[in-house]
Chain A
Amino acid sequence: MLAKNEIVSRHVLSILVDNEPGVLGRVVGLFSGRGYNIESLTVSETEHDKHVSRITIVTSGTPAIVDQIEAQLGRLVPVHRVVDLTNSGPSVERELALIKVAGKGEMRAEALRLAEAFRARVMDATIESFVFELTGKPDKLDQFIALMLPLGLVEVSRTGVAAISRGPKAM
């Protein structure tokens, strides 16, 4: 039988799908219907000629649950391939965030100093606000956003994680 006390860990899954109507609904519906977690999800067409899109999902679960998620995704008819990037060797992951901070005086100056330290770019500025663009691993974004909170954080927009394996081979 399946052990119940296995450790829950975070996994990044890359899914290649036919870019057809409803395919995202199938993937998302599978997660909600079977009670799996979605921590982040990104999707975009990656090979226009072949009508192939790539979905990156960050999920969490025990090894048995994550194996089941992979198998269930593989069962969907328009899914070409599923790779658990977390389990299949080293990979790179990046996320982009747009962060709006409003404030005046010293708070505003401090926000700008921190942005420079994090190598965030200023995408928009008024005399009482900034919009920063920051790219990095999700935890770096979390850290920057936490720092902005007391400095007048107004709004955040994040893309979710995009990921790819290291080395010369394709998935």
Chain B
Amino acid sequence: MTKGSKTGAEMTGAEMVIRALLDQGVDTIFGYPGGAVLPIYDALFQQNELQHILVRHEQGATHSAEGYARSTGKVGVVLVTSGPGATNAVTGMVDALMDSIPLVVITGQVPSHLIGSDAFQECDTVGITRPATKHNYLVKSVEELPRILHEAFYVARSGRPGPVLVDIPKDIQFAAGLYTGPEHVEHRTYKPRIEGDADKIRAAVELMASAKKPVFYTGGGVINSGTRASEALRELVRLTGFPITSTLMGLGAYPHSDKQWLGMLGMHGTFEANHTMHDCDVMICLGARFDDRVTGRVDAFSPNSKKIHVDIDPSSINKIVKVDIPIVGDVGNVIEAMTKLWKAEKKSADKEALAGWWKQIGTWRARKSLSYKNSKSIIKPQYAVERLYELTKGPNTYITTEVGQHQMWAAQYYGFEEPNRWMTSGGLGTMGYGLPAALGVQVAHPDALVCCIAGEASVLMNMQEMSTAVQHRLPVKIFILNNEYMGMVRQWQQLLHGARYSQSYSEALPDFVKLAEAYGGVGIRCEDPAELDGKIKEMIEVDAPVLFDCRVEKIENCFPMIPSGKAHNEMILGDAAAAADIGSVIDEEGKVLV
């Protein structure tokens, strides 16, 4: 097949799939073949433009596509078969839905005449994935297939991005029809609002200029809006001189090294970020959604502030927290409009008040909430991430994580300077995300250093993807903070359940060095803090997938922490927690929360 518009050309449904992907600018897909997608795999075989990454489990395909999408800003594409192929991909689709990652997932389906007959490898894919996707389609005829494929990309990437599934019965893959290209494809009803309301933007700028204790609270929406949004954000923040914090998903939109940066906020955010949020008088929320990990106790959340909320999704506004100035629109667009107005009207912050506010913030910073007690004999997990950061930092380094304590330590101790360098499962909290996501990132950035900060429990959930890494020569570095526990589960059991560690200790872990070798990769183990730097350097030098078994302190807790059911100004710090009865920091009301 060659490039160029093939509108009007006759081809099979399977060929249309490949053609449409190429016309959408797709260069790589992640997938796993099976009976109901064989015609598409056959069409794939007969061309050279589209690269296919063969995963070892369909969940791996979806997370890889997420990593690819998050690190490039493009749509990630997945191709899997019917029945178990589709159901295995569900977790990744929900993950993408929660974190607003654009995916197009193509599933094979049993032939049209067998649908509903409980045929082999049949399942109601569109029924199962209806609440797991932004939108989904069951293709009824080859005539509508090209339109649906192009529409799927439009829906996936427009507005608040998300996963879109196209279920294609096998007979339609074989059927011949006329192809139409992506020109002029737009959905007839789905037209998200991009421009913010001018009057509201004006009101927001007025409020910002009158603020005495302002804060920017930014989220993943800034990353989704594209690199221009991050640039616009940096300009606006510097122009105003306001402090800025971000959610887990928004890390990298604003540089970690900047003096206006307060660190991440929320349950494991910094003392200064959370107190600034609690005491502020004007909050400017840009592309974040007041998630429960961020707000803590909602009725005590930033009680005395006026709130501006910019979001492309109208349903995010006033969902959890009532705001004073809601602005529906693309966050990058709105930030640019705010900046323009701020400059045009020669606005300036209340300098005196702002100086006092920064002074107050300085006292919170002085608490050094991320400090921890290091050790000469045992590797502290925080130290491991700090050393990894120092030895790997740079614009060509990409970090993914699994889910748990190590994820929070990565967010706290790894500094991000640029957007799209940080891939993590925020909303759904999917253990098993990090390794396959790293593969997707490495495929998109072959010359980059891609590192997955992992826990030994999480990484085992999709360990089979090491095989994918070896097959496709993807030299990802899997940096495992191995404490033999499901650390975050253990920490909560300590805090909530009288240190009864029910099923959170892994009695039988594999030898990760031998496991890496068994897959054809490289294994490195480190147990001594003195050897850590040397072994991390060794890991970076290896041109192959690496499992790095970093043996860390087994019962370290992740602090600072806002205990469940508490407010931002009730957070506990590591030293205080060590002194107090740690089992009593969460009250009865907080225990029922997650």
Contact = CB atoms under 8 A, between A and B. Distances in A.
B134 interface: yes
A75 B130 contact: no
A75 B189 contact: no
A77 B187 contact: yes
A64 B323 CA distance: 12
B315 interface: yes
A25 B317 contact: no
A3 B140 CA distance: 47
B315 A22 contact: no
A22 B320 contact: no
Contacts of B138: 21-22
Given A22-B130, A29-B130, A75 B301 contact: no
B322 A68 contact: no
Contacts of A77: 134-135, 155, 187, 189-190
Given A22-B130, A29-B130, A78-B189, A2 B320 contact: yes
A143 B313 CA distance: 43
A68 B318 contact: yes
| Contact residues of B: prevailing secondary structure | loop
Contacts of B187: 77
Nearest to B190: A77
A74 B189 contact: no
Interface in B280-318: 298-299, 301, 313-315, 317-318
A73 to B, nearest CB: 9
Nearest to A25: B130
B26 interface: no
A29 B187 CA distance: 22
A3 B299 CA distance: 9
Contacts of A33: 131
A79 interface: yes
A26 interface: yes
B566 to A, nearest CB: 15
A18 interface: yes
Contact of B189 (A2, A72, A79): A79
Contacts of A3: 322
Given A26-B130, A33-B131, A1 B315 contact: no
Nearest to B133: A77
A22 B318 contact: no
Contacts of A64: 318, 322
Contact of A74 (B134, B155, B315, B320): B315
B191 to A, nearest CB: 10
Contacts of B319: 68, 71
Contacts of B317: 71
A75 B313 contact: yes
A167 to B, nearest CB: 25
A142 interface: no
Given A1-B298, A1-B301, A21-B138, A75 B315 contact: yes
B537 to A, nearest CB: 48
A116 interface: no
A26 B319 CA distance: 20
24 contacts: A1-B298, A1-B301, A1-B320, A2-B298, A2-B318, A3-B322, A4-B299, A18-B189, A22-B127, A29-B131, A33-B131, A68-B315, A68-B318, A71-B315, A71-B317, A74-B314, A75-B313, A75-B314, A75-B315, A76-B135, A77-B135, A77-B187, A77-B189, A78-B189
